[in-house]
Homo-oligomer: A and B are copies of this chain.
Amino acid sequence: MHINGDRLWHSLMELASIGATPKGGNARLALTALDGQGRDLVVGWMCEAGLSVTIDKIGNIFGRRAGRNDDLPPVMTGSHIDTQPTGGKFDGCYGVLAGLEVMRTLAEQGVVTEAPLELAIWTNEEGSRFVPVMMGSGVFAGVFPLQTALDARDSEGKRVADELAAIGYAGSAPVGRRLGAYFEAHIEQGPVLEAEDKVIGVVTGSLGVRWYDVTVTGMEAHAGPTPMPLRRDALYAATHLMQEVVKIAEAFAPHGRGTVGVVNVHPSSRNVIPGAVRFTVDLRHEDAEKLGQMDARFREACAMLAAGDTTGTAVEVEVREVQSFKPTPFATDLVQRVRGEAAARGYTHRDIVTGAGHDAVYVAGVAPTAMIFVPCKDGISHNEIEDARPEHLEAGANVLLGAMLAQAGPGTAAD
């Protein structure tokens, strides 16, 4: 059985026409009127595909296709349709519309599965307008309370609860329940599949993340009259830690990641030796123990720098861990279903971990979960030039179809 790749593509393009940007991207921020229009469009398609639609109290949308044994916990797929302010056409929307295409295909073919199937649209995955990010799946998985999410406000002071009501998606269903399995298809948002010319990424789990704010303090002084040996240059000191972040990640290849994304120099004057430098550090690994080792090595580098062992000059180094996410391995049997389905359909594939956050990462805390990645052009996402090839999107949806069918129990033609 195959999904209809053309229909998938056209649905993606039609959804992308709501909040289209001049550069070919999408701006459909969570719970705006445009998000409401997007939801209405997809909910209409859900109904046309024979799904019964429910909205829960945080605005998550579920379209259900009954199973032969409808008391079984559902096999769910889904993603999100809200975007970044200068987002692309595929991030999130692909997962929702690939799931829709599965439902459409089963309806066309008259196939009924043993367990019920559901298609989810999670509220506010991007977090661009409201935090917490991954809001709908986070409440569903019990990561934070419903009320926290409903009370969140945007920069203009508008509340999630009010904005949900304004677009007609303040539902009444309780948030969270038992799932049999959860699959999510998504563009990779990275360069690996394209670089290796693979069609399907079999996602084995998500990287753990540790975020730090680091402040290195030396002594600010005039760049002219201060000889090199008398300096305590906070930036020169800090560059050694910035390089160490990369070296640590490289030492924990292939799944280590190390990034310094923000640097603030004080006082930031061309002819003043920096007195203080604040920068962010982002360390990632798929293995919790190795991530702990990366953390230890980084803290050791900070201590050596502070003591003057690295540069010969002591400075103050303050390390504050501001947030962390544990590595989340996906369910082995579901991952194997994705891998097997890709192989059976003759798609080139490789195992991969997701470094980005997804609704699936939260859902994995309460249900067996797996993800399917397809390549995106140049690995670029969260950008209006985000792009993906129709044949790759079609392949990913076919793998999703096969994996859901296998998981939900052999499909039979309805009487």
Q: Which residues of A contact B (CB under 8 A)?
A: 188-192, 195, 207, 209, 211, 221-230, 233, 235-236, 239-240, 242-243, 246, 249-250, 253-254, 256-263, 265, 268-274, 280, 282, 284, 354-357, 379-382
Contact = CB atoms under 8 A, between A and B. Distances in A.
A268 B257 contact: no
Given A225-B355, A228-B258, A242 B236 contact: yes
Given A191-B227, A224-B354, A271-B282, 20 more contacts: A189-B224, A190-B221, A190-B226, A191-B225, A207-B224, A222-B381, A222-B382, A223-B282, A225-B354, A226-B257, A227-B254, A228-B246, A235-B242, A236-B242, A236-B246, A259-B273, A261-B270, A261-B271, A261-B272, A262-B268
Contacts of A262: 265, 268-270
B273 A261 contact: yes
A239 B230 CA distance: 21
A239 B238 CA distance: 9
Contacts of A229: 253
A222 B269 contact: no
B261 A263 contact: no
| Of A211, A240, A269, A354, most B-chain CB atoms within 10 Å | A269
Given A211-B270, A270-B211, A224 B257 contact: yes
Contact of A224 (B190, B240, B253): B190
A203 to B, nearest CB: 11
Query: Which A-B residue pairs are the 9 nearest by beta carbons?
Result: A224-B355, A190-B225, A223-B259, A225-B355, A239-B239, A224-B356, A270-B280, A261-B270, A191-B230
Contacts of A253: 227-229
A91 to B, nearest CB: 11
B269 A261 contact: yes
Contacts of A250: 228
A369 B372 CA distance: 76
13 contacts: A188-B225, A189-B224, A191-B227, A222-B356, A222-B379, A224-B357, A225-B354, A225-B356, A229-B253, A233-B246, A236-B246, A239-B239, A240-B243
Contacts of A221: 190-191, 379-380
A253 to B, nearest CB: 7
A230 B195 contact: yes
Given A221-B379, A222-B382, A243 B236 contact: yes
A116 B194 CA distance: 81
Contacts of A230: 190-192, 195, 379
Contacts of A235: 242, 260-261, 263
| Of A195, A240, A242, most B-chain CB atoms within 10 Å | A242
A257 B222 CA distance: 11
A391 to B, nearest CB: 21
Contacts of A222: 189-190, 355-356, 379, 381-382
B257 A261 contact: no
Given A243-B236, A268-B262, A271-B261, A191 B379 contact: no
A228 B257 contact: yes
A235 B221 CA distance: 24
